[in-house]
Structure 1
Amino acid sequence: MVIDHGLRRLALGTLLGALPGQVAPPWAMSLLADGLAGFTLFGRNAETPEQLAGMTAALRAGRGDVVVAIDEEGGDVTRLEHRTGSAYPGNAALGVVDDPELTRAVYAAIGADLAATGVTLDLAPVVDVNTADDNPVIGTRSFGASTALVARHAAAAVAGLQEAGVSACAKHFPGHGATVRDSHLELPTVDVPLSVLRERDVPPFAAAIAAGARAVMTAHIRVPALTGDEPATFSRGALSLLRDELGFDGVIVTDALEMTAAAAAAGGVPRAAVRALAAGADLLCLGSRVDAALVEAVVAEIAVGTEDGRLALGDLERAVSRTAELASPGTAFGTQRDQSLGLVTARRAVRVEGSLEDLGSPLVVQLVGAQSAVAGRVPWGLAPHLDGIEHIAVVASTASAADLVARAGGRPIIVVGQRVHQSPADRALIEALPATVVVEMGWPSAWRPAGIRAFVTTHGASWANGRAAAEVLGLA
């Protein structure tokens, strides 16, 4: 079909694409010139801060008001430091320290790093209240399980980012913290009365909005009392709660439409785009796998949607108007990165139960498993911080406790893992080892194996968390 030029530009003005490498290809620059709102950057786009700054400068040369977005949460989810792990601890560590001014300072430092590379929109902070210990997708990305705690840190994080000149995007509305399913893979359901949602999950978003958050991201979760059978991203009821009840007049951003919980529910990314816009979203994250053909397919479906009644032209125009305002970032205050801030914070977040005396030169065993769909292949653990200490990585389901004991040869064994309470194999291996020290770098739980020497909780798996753990163990 032939799409009217003005309508095509409107449709493009609601879309965040993605780039395949460290230089924007010609098709991306062409779409940008035609009106594409901007791009979401991923680890593959960031080799060094200098390279990334050059890439974003080239995008702005293509069009000065381009939106350059990134998921830089600190902690376990980092794009700028995906090769080493983040120098900042994430939200769970900030929450357990519970110093909102420190949270503001950490997010201001993250914002300064982003501003220096030309990023204008940080798809952070996560303001979900993590009430499900087995939550597979939020966990340490959350400030905690207390609504009041999450709310005060949500406000502090937004303030820190935006005083650095980078727009904040509070996520994932109306609250992803009570889910036990991963929305990258399926559509999770939070089956609670609307009163519970308002009391437990919504207040942190209200706090972020009161702090001036310029954007809020929708969640691909189903809340029957609010969204019916739809994910919140496609629910006018959910987005009306955000607009009308919370008074949010900024940009509503969708989580990635390529995620199974959105794409499968709608019958593909193009149809998902129309449904999200019709529900009241303004800026659509298409996902990480984007090319010109996908963008054009989405544009064509949006155009058809305005003709067949699925999408009102006025709603499309309002979305573009809001997104255009987001393209103008605030004024950065220009502070330089405090190299010690992240480590100082991570140290304050470490909790030790038991005795760490006489560890000597232990065997450090890291339990490895499937990579996170959110964090990707980001290094974690103690290995970068050990000097002359033997370190091995094992898969618990195929490891032998007897072999590890033999290898240790009488030395203490330190087992490092993430969310070990969720893995029967991890738990069984730890319980079969004598007098072990366990280092939990994921979301903490009440599980404690009998007979261990000590249990160390870091509240995150960033580079800073790993360094702090190595220090408290006397290994760094």
Structure 2
Amino acid sequence: MPADPTLDRLANATLLVPFESHRAPRWILDGLADGIAGVCLFHNNIDGAEQVAALNRELAAAADSPLVSLDEEGGDVTRIGQSAGSDYPGNAALGAIDDTGLTRAVHRTLGAELRALGFTLDLAPAVDVNTAADNPTIGTRSFGADADLVARHAAAAVSGLQDSGVAACAKHFPGHGATRTDSHIELPVVDADPELLARRELVPFRAAIEAGTRSVLTAHISLPGFGTPEPATLAPRVVTDLLRGELGFDGVVVSDALEMEGVSAGIGIPEAAVRALAAGCDLLCLGRFVYADQVAAVRAAIVGAVREGRLASDRLEEAAARTLELRRWTGDRAASAERPPAEVGSDAGVGLDGARRALRVDGILPPLHDPVVVELDAPPGIAVGEVPWGLSPWFPGTERVDPATAAPSAVLDRAADRDLVVVVRDAHRHAAARRLLEEVCRARPDTVVVEMGLPAWRPRCQAHISTYGAARVNGRSAAELLGAASATPVR
């Protein structure tokens, strides 16, 4: 069957695609010119402010206001802070403070930095209510476990980003906070009926919608109690009936990455794309490693589904129209919001201020002199990736150990006759870290513990410091509290 340029272009208008490198390859520039809605940048695309600003200018010149997006939540999930950690505290820290004015200011500053770098869509904030403490996907990405608190800060974060001309994207609809498995590798199940969803998961999304969020991103979760055992991204009852109908959202519905096993396992990315569009999604985030040939396969699957009658042509046209409207919104704000990269970060003090205010100390923190600092390693979540964390920039000589193999005696011997600080991250999720820390604290009750994840568990110790996140500013604020010789990180 001959190619249909109109259908191809409509299919392109629903695609948010990744690419391989620090430079835009020809297939990306040609694709944007042929109607691809936009791109999503990951760590492999970013190597400093000057590089990414130049890259984004090249992308913007390839089409009329393409969407240039990334997952920049601040806190643990950062792309622009990949090399050293984020200058902004994450949602858990902001929720612990519970100052919506600060949350809006942090996101306004973050949005201004993103806009100055050429980004127009931020796939944030996460507005999940983190009711499962052992959740491997959300954790410190959530403002908290209380629906009303999360709702207050969801609205503030959306407003802050969009104050700066960056479109916000509330995620992960209808709520990923009660899951205990990672949708990157399997389909999690949320045991919630419609009544529980309404009073818990949906409350922050209603607030984000009322605050004017330009987009909402779906979750790859199963909701059997809601009658949708398939991934929510592929469920018309979730996307069309609930989000569009009941909540009244009329902006762009973005799928979470379709390369994730929670949505495409067993059916493949092209088929997941077709089903997501049919369910009511408008913009398909393909993931990190879906490049030229696979993008072409997704486009062909969408066009084929329309020709076969499996996907209504007016549904495809509706999706394309919504993404075009979002592009126009971001384009209208470009001239007034852009600043040269040299001015980026001039308001970055708001992030450090937030991190300092989030610190919580249980117990009595004694004066420390030249402490031995030991970090217990913890594997990063897939969404987080390899981002530096810990106190080593402020305490040279800090040692990081594997809690599964490290002997308590080695930690204790290293700290003989010196104060001891042990740094952990989500200790409640890692049994080996808990065992090691309990033995160390039993032998040295004067140990100071710094928890840089969720403070859901604590050992018996002299003092327990909670940072509510592992961003660079969280580390610096803890280092200041511990009396580091300098607040300036050692590079």
- TM-score clears 0.5: yes
Superposed, which structure 2 residues align to 1:300-315 within 5 Å?
300-315=300-315
* Letter matched to residue 56 of structure 1: N
The SS at the match of 1:167 is: coil
Q: Percent identity?
A: 52
Structure 1 distance, partners of 2:337, 2:44, is 28
Using the TM superposition, give the Cα deviation of residue 227 of structure 1 relative to its aligned residue in structure 2, in angstroms: 4.8
* Letter matched to residue 158 of structure 1: V
1:415 is aligned to: 422
The number of residue pairs the alignment matches comes to: 471
* Letter matched to residue 264 of structure 2: A
Superposed, which structure 2 residues align to 1:182-221 within 5 Å?
182-221=182-221
Structure 1 distance, partners of 2:253, 2:410, is 53
Using the TM superposition, give the Cα deviation of residue 137 of structure 1 relative to its aligned residue in structure 2, in angstroms: 0.6
* Letter matched to residue 254 of structure 1: S
Deviations 1:254-304 (CA, angstroms, capped at 9, x unpaired) = 000000001105x10000000000000000000000211001100111111
Structure 2 distance, partners of 1:168, 1:366, is 35
Deviations 1:397-456 (CA, angstroms, capped at 9, x unpaired) = 0000011111112212211111101211101100111222111111121x2223x11111
1:426 is aligned to: 433
Using the TM superposition, give the Cα deviation of residue 365 of structure 1 relative to its aligned residue in structure 2, in angstroms: 0.9
Q: What TM-score results when the alignment is normalised by the length of structure 2?
A: 0.94
2:349 is aligned to: 340
Structure 1 distance, partners of 2:90, 2:323, is 28
Deviations 1:187-206 (CA, angstroms, capped at 9, x unpaired) = 00001211000110101001
2:276 is aligned to: 276
Structure 2 distance, partners of 1:284, 1:2, is 25
2:243 is aligned to: 242
Superposed, which structure 2 residues align to 1:342-421 within 5 Å?
342-386=351-395, 389-421=396-428
Superposed, which structure 2 residues align to 1:44-83 within 5 Å?
44-83=44-83
Structure 2 distance, partners of 1:310, 1:80, is 40
Structure 2 distance, partners of 1:448, 1:73, is 27
Using the TM superposition, give the Cα deviation of residue 333 of structure 1 relative to its aligned residue in structure 2, in angstroms: 5.1
The SS at the match of 1:114 is: helix
The SS at the match of 1:432 is: helix
Structure 1 distance, partners of 2:353, 2:219, is 33
Deviations 1:45-87 (CA, angstroms, capped at 9, x unpaired) = 1111121111111111111221111101000011111101001
Residues 278 and 311 of structure 2 are in contact (CA less than 8 Å); yes or no, is this contact kept in structure 1? Answer: yes
More displaced 10-residue stretch of structure 1: 106-115 or 34-43: 34-43
1:30 is aligned to: 30
More displaced 10-residue stretch of structure 1: 242-251 or 435-444: 435-444
Q: What TM-score results when the alignment is normalised by the length of structure 1?
A: 0.97
Deviations 1:344-363 (CA, angstroms, capped at 9, x unpaired) = 11000000011221321111
Residues 378 and 425 of structure 2 are in contact (CA less than 8 Å); yes or no, is this contact kept in structure 1? Answer: no
* Letter matched to residue 449 of structure 2: V
State the Cα RMSD in Å.
1.3
Using the TM superposition, give the Cα deviation of residue 334 of structure 1 relative to its aligned residue in structure 2, in angstroms: 6.3
Residues 116 and 337 of structure 2 are in contact (CA less than 8 Å); yes or no, is this contact kept in structure 1? Answer: no
The SS at the match of 1:170 is: strand
* Letter matched to residue 476 of structure 2: R
Matching of residue 443 in structure 1 with residue 450 in structure 2: no
Structure 2 distance, partners of 1:317, 1:369, is 46
* Letter matched to residue 455 of structure 1: H
Using the TM superposition, give the Cα deviation of residue 169 of structure 1 relative to its aligned residue in structure 2, in angstroms: 0.3
Residues 16 and 39 of structure 2 are in contact (CA less than 8 Å); yes or no, is this contact kept in structure 1? Answer: yes
More displaced 10-residue stretch of structure 1: 104-113 or 26-35: 26-35
More displaced 10-residue stretch of structure 1: 323-332 or 22-31: 323-332
Structure 1 distance, partners of 2:482, 2:309, is 63
Return 5+ residue gaps in structure 2 as ranges. 487-491
The SS at the match of 1:366 is: strand
Residues 3 and 303 of structure 1 are in contact (CA less than 8 Å); yes or no, is this contact kept in structure 2? Answer: no
Structure 2 distance, partners of 1:76, 1:6, is 41
1:470 is aligned to: 479
Using the TM superposition, give the Cα deviation of residue 210 of structure 1 relative to its aligned residue in structure 2, in angstroms: 0.5
Evaluate the alpha carbon distance shift between residue 334 and residue 36 of structure 1 in structure 2; reply closer, same or farther with a 3 A threshold: closer
